[in-house]
Every structure is written in C-alpha cells, then in structure tokens.
A and B are shown apart, each in its own frame.
Chain A
C-alpha cells in the first residue's frame, strides 16, 4: 500500500482542483437545464432532442414545439444564409417521445 502523505496546500494541487472542477461541472449542468436550445439549433427536432443526436427519436415526450424560422439542413451545414428557406414548423411528440400528433397513441391503429 502507498504511504505517501501528499501536501495539498498548493493552490494547483490535484486534491484542490478536481473537487472544484466537479462543482463547476455540476453548476454548468444545472444551469444548462434551464437554457433553451433554440439559439443552437436550426431544425425543429434538434431542439427536442432528449439525449443522443438522431432525427428519428425518441425526443422529449408530450411536447409541442413551434418555430417560425426553421430552415433546411444543407443551408445549415454549409453555413449559407442566403440559401435558407425559412418556414414554420409544428413539432409534437407522443407519450413515448416520437414525432406524432398529440392524441395519436390513443387512436386505434388501422394497421401494424
């Protein structure tokens, strides 16, 4: 077993830096939960992401999201503002987090 008694009095010792780093990360994590994703996204589904980036879902469940200035992926990826075609988007998710009309899950499916 190690028998090192390290001196953690230095400001830049690992025993001082890492707990502060964790506290900072905790604060950032908590704050980011209240920050809207709108400014960082250009497609409606990106703002509805729950965890992993994918266009299929699941997204945040039971949400209705409206955006007047969505635009397409190519113009966004290429950063070509002149080519953007702004349009209005309504994005609604069901209880499972998938892109469906609000009462979709209660309706009887006509086919599976």
Chain B
C-alpha cells in the first residue's frame, strides 16, 4: 500500500486515524497502531509480517535481558546474538543472490567456473529500515543511551509504525520514546495543522514534481544509447531532482503522518542541494541514515580520532562503501558509495582550498559532483552508467525525448524549490487562508493525478 494510493488515502488512513483517537489508553493505542501497521505492511506480502514480528521479538527480549544483566559478558552476548540474527536475515533476503552471482562472476573471471544455485528470494519491503531500527535499539540499550522498554506493544509499535516502516526516516528509539510514553496524553488537534501541512507538501513533491520528471526521463534512461549530449544531461539532472523530491516527499509525508498520530519523527532532509561541500551534503541528505552510519559504524571503527591519518580515510571508505551497499544488492551502489567516500577523503585532504572558492561555486560544484554520482545510483548496471557518462561528456547529436517542454518547466520549479526555498522543517506551517487555498489546490491536483491511475512507488521502497 502506497501513501499515494486511493486505498491508503480513502480507506486505511481514515480508519486508522479515527480508530486511534477513539481509544484512550496507551496500551490500546500501541496495539491499534501495531495492528494497523501490520495490515499496512501485509498488503505487500502478508508472509513477511512474520519476519518482522520475529525480528521485533528477538530485539525486545534481548532488551529485556539487558535490563536484568549486570555481567558485561552477558550484556555483550545479548547485543551480539540479536544483532547477528538481524544481520543474517538482512543478508539472506537482500544479499544472498547478489553474493552468489558475484562469486560466479569472479570464478568465471579466474577461469575456474563454478555455478552456485541462486534462490528465488523476494526482498521484503522495508527490511533495511526496520533492521536498522532494531539494531540501533539494541546498540543504544547496550551503550546505556536508552533504557529498554518493558512494554512489548510499545516496542512493537516503534518498530512497525507504518508512517516510517518501509522507507524511513530511520528513527531511533530515543527520538520517539517520549512521544510513545505519552501517547495517551497526545492531543488530536494540537498537531493537526502541522501534520496535514507536512503531508500535503510531501504529496505534492512526490506526485506533482518527482513523478512528472520521472515520466519524461524514465524512457530516456531505458535507451541511453540514442541520447544526445543535451538529452543525457537533462536525464541526469532530472534524476537528481526526481530522487530528492521523491524521497524527501516521502519523508515529509511520514513526518506529517507521525504528527497526526501524536508522534514526532526526525528531519531526514535539510535542503541537501544547498550544500557547500560534500561533507555538508552528507549532513543534509538522508540525515537519519548518515547519522546511523556515523554512530554505529564510522565512530566504532575509530572515526577521525585515530593514531594514524590514513586510518581516517580507511574508516570513511568502509563507511561509505557499506552505506552504498545498504541501498541495494548491486555493485553500482557500492561504486556510488565508493565515489562519495573518495569525494569525502579528497575534501578532508584539500577542503581548505575548496572553502576558499566563492559560495556560489562551492554550491554549484557540490551539486555537479552529487549529480554525477547519481549516474551510478540510477543505472541498473555498469554498461548503462558508462553509456550515460559517455553521452554526457562526448558531444553527440541524438534524440531529444518527448515531453521536453514539460520537463524543463518541472526542472525549473524543482530547481527553484531545491536551491532557494526553505525546506519543510524551516517553515512554521501557520498558513493564512490564501496559502491554505493554494495548498489545497495543489493537493487536489495530486489527488486527481492519483485518481487517474498514475501512481508510482517511492524510489526508496526498493531498499
């Protein structure tokens, strides 16, 4: 079930919302939200609900065990075992076939061909996200950052909350603990305006901007060989804005839904295309993931407080390569992560020179480098990526795609918003009547687009 589908908007959301606010106690609301979230998740494939329930139960009981464990060795065991189970589940469903095919390719390359059998595995939607939820919970409990909850329904509600279940933001328990603890005190009207405002803006970003751009550039990405240089650049720039408006639109909708149910979710995007350098970009893009990678991978590796300089670069590269791999079981994602790792290392080495450039050049340069990286992220394989890069940097006259005028208009609006407008967290969401009318018109246009059958999944659902 997609947020931008009629069944979600006209059936699931009203039932979940009114049911939630009719209930009074914390326990009732936890159970209601958990049940609603499992129904939401089960619409993709009900069998995967069992997987999420298993992961939830393992983490919950590990947390309970940590509450009673005073022995450090036992505490460590209660961290390692459930984290290993979670990682094995993620590894099996997401990376098993990738590992098998990579092994087969490597053996063929070494002239020692073996043919391991790939399994017919369906990747459970959102597994990367809820695995991060449970792992962050256990690590934080082990570090003493949070006190594990004794309430199973509260924990289950945290892991499965439908607003952020399938594509983030990756929420840490401590970020929502206070709101979950006070769920029975939540005021239905208190955050009504801000919730709907976030939701409507997110919906318009996704349906009116991201999907409009996608409709034009998607065919172009399918047939890279016939693109002109201009067409190639427009396809890449188009994707740069598409992925931002798609994912930040989803995040805004998730935050808005959170508010509607009395739970504040963290910011995931802080105008990333206004970044002055690549390090700044990663403080603004998919913030919930980059902070998780920083806290649970980069810093435990030693971070930048290491005895030798080269270890900092090693830590950066490992973090970004694994961050790339987290996005999907494909070498193109690894290369994308590696590309950003190299850029971060270069910035660490030569950043003082970069920072001397005029601000406009810093912004434009960062945007250009990030856009180049999206070529690997968007491409299904390296031949597509190489073809696109060749088309971009070797002048050729080829086809321009249909819908060019519409694309240019959408890109102009997208660029104006991404580079110059405040982001949704910078707005105060206290709108006057005229702005409400404008937002309602935009929202109605999005609803009409959805009703006409033009629904497309969010890009980050596949991760």
Contacts and interface: CB of A to CB of B under 8 A. Distances in A.
A45 B439 CA distance: 36
Interface in A1-60: 1-9, 12-19, 21-22, 25-26, 29, 51-52
B426 to A, nearest CB: 10
Contacts of A1: 175, 264-267
A13 B193 contact: yes
B190 interface: yes
B436 A12 contact: yes
Interface string B405-437: 000000000000000000001001111010011
Given A4-B428, A14-B431, A25 B444 contact: yes
Contact of B447 (A6, A9, A14, A22): A22
Contact of B193 (A15, A21, A26, A29): A15
Contact of B444 (A6, A21, A51): A21
A25 B447 contact: yes
A24 to B, nearest CB: 9
A6 B427 CA distance: 12
A51 B267 CA distance: 37
B417 to A, nearest CB: 19
B451 A14 contact: no
B433 A12 contact: yes
A4 B447 CA distance: 27
B397 interface: no
A25 B13 CA distance: 15
Contact of B443 (A6, A12, A21): A21
A19 B452 CA distance: 20
- Which of the four size classes fits the interface of chain B? 35 or more
Contacts of A22: 9-10, 447
Nearest to B264: A1
B185 interface: no
A22 B443 CA distance: 9
B451 A6 contact: no
Interface in B168-217: 175, 187, 189-197, 199-200
Contacts of B297: none
Contacts of B443: 18, 21
Contacts of B451: 25, 29
User: Main SS of chain B's interface residues?
Assistant: helix
Nearest to B444: A21
B10 A6 contact: no
Interface string B32-71: 0000000000000000000000000000000000000000
A29 B10 CA distance: 10
B9 A8 contact: no
A14 to B, nearest CB: 5
A3 B428 CA distance: 10
Contacts of B9: 22
A8 B259 CA distance: 13
Given A2-B425, A21-B443, A26-B10, A14 B453 contact: no
A9 B188 CA distance: 12
A18 B196 contact: yes
B230 interface: no
B381 interface: no
Nearest to B453: A51
Contacts of B444: 21, 25
A15 B447 contact: no
Contacts of B439: 14, 18
Contacts of B190: 5-6
A8 B447 contact: no
Contacts of B191: 4-6
Contacts of B6: 29
Contacts of B107: none
5 closest A-B pairs by beta carbon, nearest first, are: A15-B192, A6-B193, A15-B193, A12-B433, A8-B192
Interface of A: 1-9, 12-19, 21-22, 25-26, 29, 51-52
10 contacts: A1-B265, A8-B193, A13-B431, A15-B192, A15-B194, A18-B440, A22-B10, A25-B451, A29-B6, A29-B10
Given A1-B265, A4-B194, A15-B192, 20 more contacts: A2-B425, A3-B264, A6-B190, A6-B193, A6-B194, A7-B193, A8-B192, A9-B189, A12-B433, A12-B436, A13-B193, A13-B431, A18-B196, A18-B439, A18-B443, A21-B447, A22-B447, A25-B447, A25-B451, A52-B453
